[in-house]
Chains A and B, each alone.
Chain A
Amino acid sequence: KQEVTQIPAALSVPEGKNLVLNCSFTDSAIYNLQWFRQDPGKGLTSLLLIQSSQREQTSGRLNASLDKSSGRSTLYIAASQPGDSATYLCVVRGRTPLVFGKGTRLSVIA
């Protein structure tokens, strides 16, 4: 059974810092991995999707990497801003239905 773990559960950083969010999964037979952000009271916003054949994806200040063999993905946020404050979710699609991590709650302090 696929399990997805996100570390840390919560993170607070000063504005301007670069930071890394971690996601690990137990079954490496995946189709893709997607990172989302969730703002309070809102649905999920897709940030980056990495196919199993890919190593990384970039969008603006965000970079997501995937190491399928070790069951790990990281989301790198450069030059963090207060507007980046949200919960970041890692979602894995594989043989089992979609499995979500519990998220990392990020606070960027101005």
Chain B
Amino acid sequence: GAGVSQSPSNKVTEKGKDVELRCDPISGHTALYWYRQSLGQGLEFLIYFQGNSAPDKSGLPSDRFSAERTGGSVSTLTIQRTQQEDSAVYLCASSLAPLTGSQPQHFGDGTRLSIL
């Protein structure tokens, strides 16, 4: 497709389980971002990938969260030993160039994660 694709769209899992969320950015976009939006909260930055540079992980809330981007394209956000406070919508975005440039971010529809 032409846009950012995220899967699954919904995920329900038990507390303590690991989950993987996938993001397929727009073809050719070098920058990829992960955010989360908790109920009633604003959007929160998690991690940013730009080309082959080391990712900016400064937004990851704990060491249970990790992300990788293989081949400069698809990215996977992994949450280990999930907790109820991890319940949120996880959004992925991509852009043609770094955020200091003039290219806007394009967002996927998100993965709604519910921890029971």
Which residues on A are within 8 Å of B, measured CB to CB?
31-32, 34, 36, 41-46, 49, 51, 89, 91, 93, 97-103
Nearest to A44 among chain B residues (CB) is: B107
Docked complex: B88-116 residues within 8 A CB-CB of A: 91, 93, 99-100, 102-110
Q: Across the interface, do B108 and A97 meet the contact criterion of CB distance under 8 Å?
A: no
Q: Across the interface, do B91 and A43 meet the contact criterion of CB distance under 8 Å?
A: yes
CB distance from A46 to the nearest CB of B (A): 4
**Cβ of B45: which chain A residues have Cβ within 8 Å of it?**
97-100
Q: Across the interface, do B102 and A97 meet the contact criterion of CB distance under 8 Å?
A: no
Contacts A32-B100, A51-B102, A89-B43; A98 near B107 (Cβ below 8 A): no
**Cβ of A42: which chain B residues have Cβ within 8 Å of it?**
109-110
Nearest to A34 among chain B residues (CB) is: B104
**Cβ of B104: which chain A residues have Cβ within 8 Å of it?**
34, 46, 49
Number of A-B pairs, beta carbon distance below 8 Å: 58
CB distance from B85 to the nearest CB of A (A): 18
* B44 interfacial contact with A, CB 8 Å: yes
CB distance from A44 to the nearest CB of B (A): 4
Supply 14 further A-B pairs (C-beta < 8 A) apart from A49-B104, A91-B43. A31-B100, A32-B99, A42-B110, A43-B6, A43-B91, A43-B109, A49-B103, A98-B45, A100-B35, A100-B44, A101-B42, A102-B41, A102-B42, A103-B42
Contacts A34-B105, A49-B102, A97-B56; A43 near B4 (Cβ below 8 A): yes
